Structure 1
Amino acid sequence: MNKNKIISVTPENVDQQTLYCIKNTKSEGHKQKKEWFNEQYSRGLRLNILQDAEENMLGFIEYVPAENAWRPIVAPGFMFIHCIFVYPNKNKNAGNGSLLIHQAEREARALGMHGLCTMSSKGSWVASKKVFVKNGFRQVGKRDRFELLSKKWIISDADPLLADWTANQKNYQGWHLVYANQCPWHEKSAEAMLKVAREHGIDLKITLLKTPSDAQNAPSGFGVFSLLHDGKLLEDHYLSETRFRNILKKELQLG
């Protein structure tokens, strides 16, 4: 008998349950994500953690009504899945991802929504589409490395759309880091990148996204992390100090 259970994280139990991705409740990343989570909870954001009988964490899912999604999408009436992750590998291919998606679907149906949608990619920091296709999602859009997937209850309802995140990239002249605390690792990355930029005498302008609308109009598909130089998107997900040093080396040589 499967004794796995889904725990709903709330502002009241977040310190006890953690935020899955970052378990050290005293870290700056946890602090920033917690503040972000508490703010977005009132906008319908939900984070569920899957546990086994011994309360070991097997995976998590984060979702929100698409009007308040922190990705460049247009999907009124849909529930948008920001993130889904099952770890370690022994917990994969055991139906755990599907359990988490089913929970999000139940909530979306109970709220009278049109369906679910999400963005997938073969690249880093975004789930691949395999588990979603298995659960009835189909591709309804694609741009760069990202695919927009949707599962709707009524076939005649309009499909979600991807926004054009390339439209305003030209406005970011010089060096820019645009990020949000939707991911608890971004604060650490921003601090490391700022330190490296100063070492190289580079004026790295940092913009912290504060609202879903900010993220929906961000200059990358991931929405919540964008590194740009003179109007060109260089990276769209978390960067380590070493990776940023390598990017700088390449860009400065090209310049």
Structure 2
Amino acid sequence: MKLVEVTPENAVKETFFCIKNTKKQGFKDKLKWFKKSYKEGLKIKILKNDEDKMIGFIEYVPAIKAWRPIDADNYMFIHCTYIYAKKDRNKGYGSILIEDAEKEAKTKGMDGLCVITSKGGWLANKTLFENNGFEQLEAKDRFELLSKTWNSSAKKPKFYNWTNQQKKYKGWHLLYADQCPWNEKSAVAILNVAMDYGVDLKVSKINTVEEAKMAPSGFGVFNLLHDGKLLEDHYISATRFRTILKKELDMSK
């Protein structure tokens, strides 16, 4: 096994693992986002076998630059990690990726690692992290905040209260960031459905870390709201949005 670091120079060759087609708009948007975030300490590592086949990946960043609603001063934060094939899971590959993030955090003199997990889709299950020495600090909605520290006096990471942020969004709103390369495709699909139904959907890009930390959901980089209520916190299909839209419109009659 080998770890290959993605850089602005080799990103087109290595891809971002979760999106491999470099011609897709999502890849182009992620690349632009990555080049900026790379300067802020963000790392993407791809795990490959001896045949150069991609097995999994991890994306991590100093927590003060994390695109999630967390407050963690001197920690490394894991945005995403994933082992693609089921046959490759439970073989310790996920631990290899986490160990790389831990090594980087210690090299930079940080107090620990932290991560947001979920039983639902789009985020890793907490079991992998608990098996690697992480402890759960908080749980809110469908999300858990876990950390691993080697400094017993370090301040513990905590969630920002994203529920309070939801109240300010009146009408229909979609806020998303290019941290996830699949958000753009979903945003276009959702906007087209909204137009079909004559719904005034305000679509906004989350362009800064500060905006992401103050996002109205636990995932942070995708937020679909109607009159202060969070409807989805991860990218969805046009079909899924059509179902949500019909339900909301029926309730408002």
Report the TM-score when normalising by structure 1. Answer: 0.98
TM-aligned CA deviation for residue 9 of structure 1:
0.4
Q: Give the alignment's Cα RMSD to 1 decimal.
A: 0.6
Distance 1:68 1:154 in 2: 21
Q: Does 1:187 pair with 2:196?
A: no
- Amino acid aligned to 1:223: G
Which residue of structure 2 lines up, in the alignment, with residue 203 of structure 1? 200
Query: Shift of the alpha carbon at 1:220?
Result: 0.4
Q: How does 1:150-161 map to 2 (within 5 A)?
A: 150-161=147-158
5 Å matches for 1:224-235? 224-235=221-232
How many residues of Structure 1 are paired with residues of Structure 2 in the alignment? 252
The CA distance in 2 between the partners of 1:245 and 1:51, in whole Å, is: 39
| 2:233 maps to 1:236 | yes
Alpha-carbon distance in 1 for matches of 2:156, 2:214 = 19
Larger deviation: 150-159 or 7-16? Answer: 150-159
Deviation at 1:168?
A: 1.9
How far did 1:174 drift? 0.4
Superimposed CA distance per residue, residues 60-90 of structure 1 (whole angstroms, 9 cap, x where no aligned partner): 0000000000000000000000000001111
Paired amino acid for 1:182: Q
In 1, Cα distance between equivalents of 2:151 and 2:28: 40
Indicate the residue corresponding to 1:214 in structure 2: 211
Aligned equivalent of 1:135 = 132
Instruction: State the alpha-carbon separation in 2 of the partners of residues 49 and 238 from structure 1.
Output: 23
- Report the CA distance between 1:156 and its aligned residue: 2.1
Residue of structure 1 in register with 2:54 after alignment: 57
Identity between Structure 1 and Structure 2 (%): 57
Aligned to 1:11: 8
| Aligned partner of 2:92 among 84, 92, 95 | 95
User: Matched residues in 2 for 1:73 and 1:108: separation?
Assistant: 17
| Runs of 4+ that moved beyond 4 A | none
* Partner residue of 2:19 out of 17, 22, 40: 22
1:233: Cα distance to partner?
0.3
CA distance in 1, matches of 2:165, 2:68: 15
TM-score, normalisation: structure 2: 0.99
Question: Which one-letter code corresponds to 1:226 in the other structure?
Answer: N
SS of the residue corresponding to residue 49 of structure 1 reads: strand
- Pairing 1:107–2:104 present: yes
2:143 pairs with one of 141, 146, 155: 146
SS in structure 1 at match of 2:163: coil
Deviation at 1:207, TM superposition (A): 1.1
1:249 is aligned to: 246
Mapped partners of 2:220, 2:137: distance in 1: 19
Structure 1 unaligned regions, length at least 5: none
Partners of 1:138 and 1:15 lie apart in 2 by: 36
How far did 1:227 drift? 0.3
